[in-house]
A and B are shown apart, each in its own frame.
Chain A
Amino acid sequence: MRGKWKILILLAPLAGVTALVLAACGTVLLQSLGYVPAFGLDTLTLSYYRAVLGDPAFLQSLGVSLRIAATSALLAAAAGTAICAALVGTGRTRGALTYLVRLPILVPHAVTALFAVLLFAQTGLLARLAFALGLIGDFSQFPQLLHTAGYQGAVLSYLWKEAPFVAYFVLALMAGISGTLGEAAENLGASPLRSFFTVTLPLSMPAIAKAFLIIFIFAFGGYELPMLLGPTVPKALPVQAYLAYMSPELRDRPYAMVMYGVILLLSVAMAALYGLLTRALWRKLGGERP
């Protein structure tokens, strides 16, 4: 019985934090259903969802955010895995290079937006280099990468910050696998390349997939980068939602909360999908859940 109390005491702070998170989600969902008593709205209704989901501007924002999240997460996972494999393959899993790889984790998103401006603007360093090399005759000929509907600037900034995160996140697992099972495969005659692609990479997949999920959810709900580097239209969903949230017409609050609700529900759905997929995969492989 004493053990039981001990566990409850140890878990009490986490329970408090979880209550906060659930309260936050509950508030967003309740207000998205039109329940904001402070503003004189006290009937539950789906009409706000209907109105927002039928709005072409919203659908465009949703598309933009899904695209930013998917491309950022995919590119970062691929580049990060390559960096990680290179660190493991050259035996540099400790030391100066790993510190360099951790540097972008220290840099906030707003600063990566500044990087993008200084590098990719039409008067940025790359455009100057292109001019010096005679590739363009004037800065207006340099392709627009910032404040465009394609959100290239935001995706490139996420890539800079998150690819090293993936590398660092996967490093311990990949180094362990490569040093044991990968080595064994090579001893049995597999080429290093074959050993990497048939043993080390597949076994590192759980960590890579988890990093992909974290980045996808982060970029999907991220505010700073699309706010700083995006065009006026189409706005990313978190930017559009915050604009609606700040609307002086308080009775419009449920419209903002529908947008936040959609971000919330889709993020949770992504996480649930990830959970189901990994569980199915583990069952198929006959292994125990880690």
Chain B
Amino acid sequence: MNRHWCLKLVLATAAACILIPVALILVWSVTARWPWPDLLPVRLTLRTVRELFLGSAQLPRLLFSSVALAVATAVLGTAVGVLTARATELYAFPGKGLVRLCGLLPLLIPGTVFAIGIHLTLLRLGLADTLAGVLLVHVTVALPYCIAIMGDVTRAVGAGLEEQAAVLGAGPLRAFWLATLPGLMPGVLSSMSMAFILSYSQYFTTLIVGGGRVRTLALVLVPYIQSGDRPLASVYAVVFVGSALLIFFLLESAIHRMERGGKSK
């Protein structure tokens, strides 16, 4: 029993360390005055919330473009993940190790180097400083996670049901759509959730490849943090984490519903 007490202490410490900073930005985001050495703010305000909606950052537009970009990254990244995983998990072919390495490559090369290097290529392709260019780079950054997640579920689901469907006369696309995809869905949603988060929090890649034309929440957040205006920086951080959490939980509850649905059948 002694052991459990010790493990619980580890978990409690971890939980406290994770939650305290999050609680702290919630308090700072509505703080008007918090002089040294007080432990609590002396005056609260809604100035920051007003600034959020009426200020120069144009929050609704910013939220919309960031979410749209991240959703597009999630869909594209996961689609590529599904295709790649199908090839590596369901087929035998020479050079599979090399293919796996290609899938890991964006993880092994720092995003900063990739962003700087790809900028020139995108300039030649006419994609620099465009949303499409930023999307392409975000998909690349997210891809190793999408491939890993889709690889796991594809291996677990296998090709059995699809082959039966084909024997019964379904075409290959129809067989995949009806027989395999439902089984892959929990993985598809996990992969989308991971790719969404990665795109949503990209800073340096968006800065370089977007050239200031593509504005996202993660991008405008940084100058506020640099400015030293703690309440304003905090309110933007709260909006960022809150919106990310919201989408994360939407996807997560969809996964749960699906897993429960799958079990009851």
A11 an interface residue at 8 Å Cβ cutoff? yes
State whether B18 touches A113 (Cβ < 8 A): no
What are the residues of chain B within 8 A of A241 when measuring CB–CB? 112, 116
| Contacts known (A108-B240, A115-B24, A132-B39); A86 close to B140, Cβ less than 8 A | no
Taking the closest CB of chain B, its distance from the CB of A69, in whole angstroms, is 10
What are the residues of chain B within 8 A of A82 when measuring CB–CB? 10
State whether B114 touches A103 (Cβ < 8 A): no
Can you list, as one digit per residue, whether each of A211-222 has a CB less than 8 Å from chain B (1) or not (0)?
Answer: 000100110111
What are the residues of chain B within 8 A of A24 when measuring CB–CB? 109, 113-118, 121
What are the residues of chain B within 8 A of A111 when measuring CB–CB? 25, 221, 225, 237, 240-241
Can you list, as one digit per residue, whether each of B82-121 has a CB less than 8 Å from chain A (1) or not (0)?
Answer: 0110110001010000010011011111111111111011
State whether B204 touches A100 (Cβ < 8 A): no
Chain B residues 51 to 100 lying within 8 A of chain A, measured CB to CB, are 79-80, 83-84, 86-87, 91, 93, 99
| Contacts known (A89-B7, A97-B11, A139-B37); A20 close to B136, Cβ less than 8 A | yes
Residue of chain A at shortest CB distance from B12? A86
Query: What's the Cα separation between A118 and B111 when bound, in Å?
Result: 27
Picked from B99, B106, B113, B225, the residue with its CB within 8 Å of the CB of A114 is B225
State whether A110 touches B18 (Cβ < 8 A): no
State whether A90 touches B11 (Cβ < 8 A): yes
| Contacts known (A7-B91, A108-B218); A139 close to B36, Cβ less than 8 A | yes
Picked from A27, A164, A271, the residue with its CB within 8 Å of the CB of B18 is A164
State whether A13 touches B83 (Cβ < 8 A): yes
Looking at the complex, which of B42-50, B163-171, B180-188, B226-234 is the stretch in contact with chain A? Answer: B226-234
What are the residues of chain B within 8 A of A125 when measuring CB–CB? 24, 39
Residue of chain B at shortest CB distance from A191? B3
Interface size bracket, B side: 35 or more
Chain A residues 205 to 230 lying within 8 A of chain B, measured CB to CB, are 214, 217-218, 220-224, 228
State whether A27 touches B120 (Cβ < 8 A): yes
Picked from A11, A86, A139, A221, the residue with its CB within 8 Å of the CB of B7 is A86
| Contacts known (A7-B87, A115-B25, A224-B222); A17 close to B245, Cβ less than 8 A | no
What are the residues of chain B within 8 A of A127 when measuring CB–CB? 37
What are the residues of chain B within 8 A of A163 when measuring CB–CB? 14
State whether B139 touches A17 (Cβ < 8 A): yes
| Contacts known (A7-B93, A11-B84, A14-B84); A110 close to B221, Cβ less than 8 A | yes
Taking the closest CB of chain B, its distance from the CB of A191, in whole angstroms, is 9
Query: What's the Cα separation between A263 and B116 when bound, in Å?
Result: 12
Picked from B39, B80, B93, the residue with its CB within 8 Å of the CB of A17 is B80
State whether B24 touches A119 (Cβ < 8 A): yes
Residue of chain A at shortest CB distance from B242? A106
A3 an interface residue at 8 Å Cβ cutoff? yes
Can you list, as one digit per residue, whether each of A13-29 has a CB less than 8 Å from chain B (1) or not (0)?
Answer: 11101101101111110
What are the residues of chain A within 8 A of B245 when measuring CB–CB? 103, 106
Taking the closest CB of chain A, its distance from the CB of B15, in whole angstroms, is 6
A128 an interface residue at 8 Å Cβ cutoff? yes
What are the residues of chain A within 8 A of B121 when measuring CB–CB? 20, 23-24, 27
B4 an interface residue at 8 Å Cβ cutoff? yes
State whether A17 touches B25 (Cβ < 8 A): no
| Contacts known (A17-B143, A118-B230, A132-B37); A268 close to B109, Cβ less than 8 A | yes
State whether A21 touches B106 (Cβ < 8 A): yes
A202 an interface residue at 8 Å Cβ cutoff? no
What are the residues of chain B within 8 A of A260 when measuring CB–CB? 112-113, 116-117
Query: What's the Cα separation between A94 and B203 when bound, in Å?
Result: 31
Query: What's the Cα separation between A290 and B19 when bound, in Å?
Result: 37
A176 an interface residue at 8 Å Cβ cutoff? no
**Can you sample 28 A-B contacts with CB below 8 Å?**
A6-B91, A7-B93, A10-B83, A13-B80, A15-B102, A17-B106, A18-B102, A20-B118, A23-B118, A24-B116, A27-B120, A83-B10, A87-B11, A90-B8, A101-B14, A106-B244, A107-B22, A110-B203, A114-B25, A114-B234, A125-B39, A160-B17, A164-B14, A217-B109, A221-B112, A260-B117, A263-B112, A264-B109
A: residues with CB less than 8 A from B are 3-4, 6-7, 9-11, 13-15, 17-18, 20-21, 23-28, 79, 82-83, 85-87, 89-90, 92, 97, 99-115, 117-119, 123, 125, 127-129, 131-132, 139, 160, 163-164, 167, 192-193, 214, 217-218, 220-224, 228, 238, 241-242, 245, 256-257, 260, 263-264, 267-268, 271
Given contacts A23-B118, A89-B7, A267-B110, 10 further A-B contacts (CB under 8 A): A14-B80, A14-B147, A90-B11, A105-B197, A106-B201, A110-B221, A115-B21, A132-B37, A139-B37, A217-B110
